[in-house]
Structure 1
């Protein structure tokens, strides 16, 4: 597979990525989240006092079990609902759009039955593009090669 550059936004350079189980359940479950969109990683880093974007080169291995959502679909929505509900999956890597805070509010409304699936899609389709890659297993983390970091101003 082709070599690509990915970015991870945080409060320090991460030379040795790890999978840490946090109290917050994320879109694609537990893992190490990156993006190919540098500006998005910078937005992630701006949540912290010290703002750092780590840069990696990645070559995805064909032996990995990869789930890619090319579009925001009902399958993507149901996968995020399952992950955010704590239901595990068996993928090494999951790739797709990110449900930011606003979209997740719509997902919560949909889960509670406040809005229909059709209403969710009308509200969600106007968001700016996002992209996330979750490295979910130790095997997946071996695809990442740390290159450098940048401080975000």
Structure 2
């Protein structure tokens, strides 16, 4: 199936290159895209006063091995375990350090064999939800609800040389900074406000990471 995907950037990228990019992104090195042009334009405007670009591509997914974290066989802890493995978690509390290791060991997924990963995008505002969970501040149910706040959207990440062979540049659209930088700020502000409310009304009776570790729950449970 051929789909249209977008990559928000400060520059025009006609030929995405395999094995480039930051190693500590959500899913490690890869080319991060979305099917939403509007989200791509927000992601392209990280700094005030400078327009960005929404690069458009056609992408043929036929025959590619896809890890779709929205599939029913996966849960939010699988996503969080991958995030914990790839991103820098500053864990000052002992429970958070143990939680990070526990998630990776018991809910982690080996992503090396996949050509594409589809899943949540954890920008800074949403990364706070992940930290709150490993710090034992919110429950699993609250984490799942939090990840839907602000309509964050899914990202599609190209991981393998085979995937990079399938992507074809089409065009670009300018992301007007005056419009999309402020939209990005509004989205983040909404997420932060919702998160604050979530912490104030946190359910102490819900299933927290400390409960999961004590029960020695695993991905199959």
Task: For structure 2, list consecutive stretches of 5 or more residues without a partner in the other structure.
Answer: 90-103, 105-109, 177-221
Structure 1 residues 2-151: aligned runs within 5 Å:
2-18=1-17, 19-22=19-22, 25-48=24-47, 49-62=50-63, 64-70=64-70, 73-84=76-87, 89-90=111-112, 91-151=114-174
Task: For structure 1, list consecutive stretches of 5 or more residues without a partner in the other structure.
Answer: none
Paired residue secondary structure (2:14): coil
How far is the alpha carbon of 1:122 from its aligned partner?
A: 4.1
Larger strand fraction of residues: 1
Indicate the RMSD between aligned Cα atoms, in angstroms. Answer: 2.3
**Distance in 1 separating the partners of 2:130 and 2:143:** 7
**Distance in 2 separating the partners of 1:119 and 1:148:** 40
Normalised by the size of structure 1, how large is the TM-score?
0.84
Residues 64-118 of structure 1, C-alpha deviations (whole Å, 9 max, x = no match) = 3210122662222222222225987312210122123222111012223343434
Structure number, greater radius of gyration: 2
Larger helix fraction of residues: 2
